[in-house]
Chain A
Amino acid sequence: METLINKLKAAALKMTLLMALAAGAAFQGCSGTEQGNSKDEAVSADAATAVYVAPGEHDELYSFLSGGFNGQVSVYGIPSGRLLKIIPVFTQFAENGYGYNEESKAMLMTSHGFVPWDDLHHPKLSRADGMADGRWLFVNGNNTPRVARVDLKTFETVEIMEIPNSAGNHCSPYPTNNNEYVLAGTRFSVPLDMKGGTQDVSLNDYKDKFRGSISFIKVDKEHGDMELDFQILVPGFDYDLANGGKGPSEDWVFFTTYNTEKSATLKELGASQNDRDYLAAINWKLAAKYAAEGKAKEMPANYYHNKMDHNSHIAKSTVKKTVRYLLPEDCPGMMYLLPAPKSPHGIDVDPTGEYMVVNGKLASSLPVFAFSKMQKAIKNKDFDGEVNGIPVLKYESVLAAEVKEPGLGPLHTEFDGKGNAYSTMFVSSEVVKWSLKDFQVKDRMPVYYSPGHLMIPGGDTREPYGKYMVVMNKITKDRFLPTGPELMHSAQLIDISGEKMKMLLDFPTVAEPHYAQGIRADLVAPNSVKFFKLDENTHPEAVKSEKDVSVTRNGRNVKINMTSIRSHFTPDNIEGVQVGDTVLFHVTNLEQDWDVPHGFAIMGANNAETLIMPGATQTLKWVPQQAGIYPFYCTDFCSALHQEMQGYVRVSPRGSKVPISFSTGEKKPVPPATASVSK
């Protein structure tokens, strides 16, 4: 009965929307001021209902879009395109104090010092048995090579590891099918000094001295902790993107390369001379075996590994001093090069694991390699010379087919699990659907100016969720109301469930979305943490009851261990602080309820606020510069009495006789809502 009612409701809703759309069209027709551009004609009338998620209802899927130059990941609901969260990874985030408060600063430490920004390109979900398992999200920092792990229980960054011997960590991070390794390849080759740094050499020596590296990061099965196991030092090309095999090709990972010309200057020309660059194929299992069998050599290194402790929420940095490496010339059978048309970008392996699609962004053809043919070519030694001891396979021997007239500037391909592939065409600005059965184009759809990557949820796994496709732009012009020279970037949601692609929705994205991953919501949502248990808070400065708060002076340092709960801080009157003191506010949020963070901000602090989740402790550092009274307050509206959630610090001149004192409320015993949880 109830389902019937729901059906009726849904039908009624659709009717209303359809009528509204029809009315709108009729009105526009009459007035003769029809607006919009030709692209919008592709939008069918029921697009609105296809993406409509009623108030209070949840989306089917989570999608994680990289923000590129904002160093963040943004989380969107699919199909609604609603922004759910922004996760700061390689960037300071004043909104919640990430990278500003004392607990998280260590996350952004590198061998170059504190680097509070990076260029985040590729989110990749952790995997089990070739499928996204919804536990972690790995992302790369391109500029100062780093790989980070986001925990999908909390949607927080919990680990960041610097990658030595790398520059421009673009070809990263690719997880193998059971998360054995996360692989990260260098975009820029550099002259390695074999001590973890780069040499001071002339740029004319590019050809002889520059090398690339591919890093094998081991992932702990249970907790996800990363560890740099070893690296392979590869020829000095630029490594662009990576993707791994599945099924028969499961042991292999493929990397696109450009600048096989090894040009150091004016690369737009220098790196675009060869008709073919390479697809590098590495047998990762064999590499791991070689490394384990002692083929790996060790060299000095210097890189940071930063981890957030699960219970104290304090990040700690460790500096690693060595790294192991393999040379392909010492490891037969580990690495091969496949000729690939001109400066390829995406390399994408279809769900069966047989086909490797190479998207040569400056080429007009779209070649598809066959894994079985590659195996055969290796067996028959169908080689076309070698580079640095790495055999180059014959193009014709590995080619399954070239897709005819695919479009201009193929950039990236994903799959729907029904034998179809979808490729973005950067130059001709379209998405092209073609079949893996006959390599013929089946459908094409114009998208807005210059699409970059596309994403089909699970499109890089064994079983894609072949209902939606998200196409992300690289250069946007006219999708939304203009906002001056800087525009919101955007993504488009396309229905791929039928024969023909159907445009459903445009939604703005934060900074430039380079790539995305999507996953069914029911694999992530049930594990979402609602609040941290106060009992499990192991922060050394945590106070779990208002009775235990303190303010103590130690030389010129003042330590304030305070609590917040709806709707007050304890203490809220603090005296005895002096100009130039280093004041640390250790604020513990005593709440044990979902979505009751309390913020903490103090006037004039040369810092951000800090936003403290229920049950957690965070520390804000403050060095007052002038005597006076400084109000502090809660920044996150927490109750009807939020505006009253405030207090004062009195700052006296240096050397003043005002003693340290603190209180909350005039009647000394603790105010009404104490947090002692009785058991």
Chain B
Amino acid sequence: MKTSHKVLMLLAGLSLGLLFFFPMWKIYLNAPQYPEGLELHIWVNKISGSSESVLQNFNILNHYIGMEPIHAESFAELKIMPYVVVFFMVAGVTLALLGRRRLVLYWTMLLLLAGAVGLFDFYMWLHKFGTNLNPEAPIKVPGMTYIPPLLGSKQLLNFDALSLPGWGSLGVFLAVVLAGLVYFLSRNTNKTASINRKNVLV
């Protein structure tokens, strides 16, 4: 791999760092009586909102329909995910230093897989929260479940729920694209790289 490819790979690894600076996903709730809206932010390691009391207000609204309160502690994933991300970042940086093309492919595929697992897990959360309702809830609408959309918008009673990836997800996207690019661009340079290594060995 050329130095430029290594730099790209380095960037791929580091771009995952965006996950620590920005939410991965955002859920927006809008209703006429909430003109300023409520935003739930899902991070790789925590759950927050557009303001610090958003979570409490989400939970207050949710309790009418018997939804379990959302707390960061409720999700084991939030404890594991930061390590997974750090692992991918360290591995990405190491690969950039090693310059091993095949490993870049494995790294990218593994990252894609992790992303897919994450999305699936996220969907399972939403499903669990939206359907696991307290049978004694004050407001019961026959046949109604409250699974927020995974992507896009959906009407949930008086709220318009909109779900979109946050800037953190861009980190994963960038990592995959950059690493893919490295794999693609370094097609012909690998040989020279191995020749170089041989030379060094000799």
Residues of A within 8 A of B (CB): 531, 565-567, 590-594, 639-641, 644, 672-679
Contacts and interface: CB of A to CB of B under 8 A. Distances in A.
Contacts of A565: 60
B138 interface: yes
B174 to A, nearest CB: 29
Contacts of A531: 53
B57 interface: yes
A675 B56 contact: yes
A677 B56 contact: yes
Q: Which of B56, B57, B69 has the most CB of A within 10 A?
A: B56
Given A640-B139, A672-B134, A677 B69 contact: no
List the 4 closest A-B pairs by CB distance, nearest first.
A592-B53, A673-B63, A672-B63, A678-B71
A678 B49 CA distance: 11
B57 A593 contact: yes
13 contacts: A565-B60, A592-B56, A592-B57, A593-B56, A640-B64, A672-B66, A672-B134, A674-B59, A675-B56, A677-B55, A678-B47, A678-B55, A679-B52
A450 B122 CA distance: 70
Contact of A673 (B52, B59, B72, B73): B59
A591 B57 CA distance: 8
Contacts of A676: 71
A677 B53 contact: yes
B194 to A, nearest CB: 51
A640 B56 CA distance: 18
A594 B57 CA distance: 10
Interface residues of B, number: 21
A567 B60 CA distance: 9
A673 B56 CA distance: 8
Say what secondary structure dominates the interface of chain A.
loop
B138 A593 contact: no
Interface of B: 36, 47, 52-53, 55-57, 59-60, 62-64, 66, 68-69, 71-73, 134, 138-139
A566 B72 contact: no
Contacts of B73: 678
A678 B55 CA distance: 8
B55 A593 contact: no
A674 B69 contact: yes
Contacts of B36: 594
Given A593-B53, A678-B55, A673 B139 contact: no
A594 B33 CA distance: 11
A565 B57 CA distance: 10
Given A592-B53, A673-B62, A674-B59, 14 more contacts: A590-B56, A592-B57, A593-B60, A640-B64, A640-B138, A641-B138, A672-B63, A672-B68, A673-B63, A673-B69, A674-B69, A678-B71, A678-B72, A679-B52
B57 A639 contact: no
A675 B53 CA distance: 10
B67 to A, nearest CB: 8
A675 B56 CA distance: 6
A594 B35 CA distance: 11
A266 to B, nearest CB: 60
B64 A641 contact: yes
Contacts of B139: 640
Contacts of A591: 56, 60
B53 A673 contact: no
A592 B60 CA distance: 10
A679 B139 CA distance: 29
Contacts of B71: 676, 678
A566 B60 contact: yes
A590 B47 CA distance: 20
Nearest to B52: A677
A640 B65 CA distance: 12
Contacts of B138: 567, 640-641, 644
B65 to A, nearest CB: 10
Contacts of A641: 64, 138
Contacts of A674: 59, 69
B173 to A, nearest CB: 29
A645 to B, nearest CB: 12
B52 A672 contact: no
A200 B57 CA distance: 62
Contacts of B47: 678
A595 to B, nearest CB: 10
A300 B139 CA distance: 66
Q: Which of B53, B59, B66, B138 has the most CB of A within 10 A?
A: B53
A673 B55 contact: no
A674 B134 CA distance: 15
B53 A639 contact: no
A672 B52 CA distance: 20
Contacts of B60: 565-566, 591, 593, 673
A675 B134 CA distance: 18
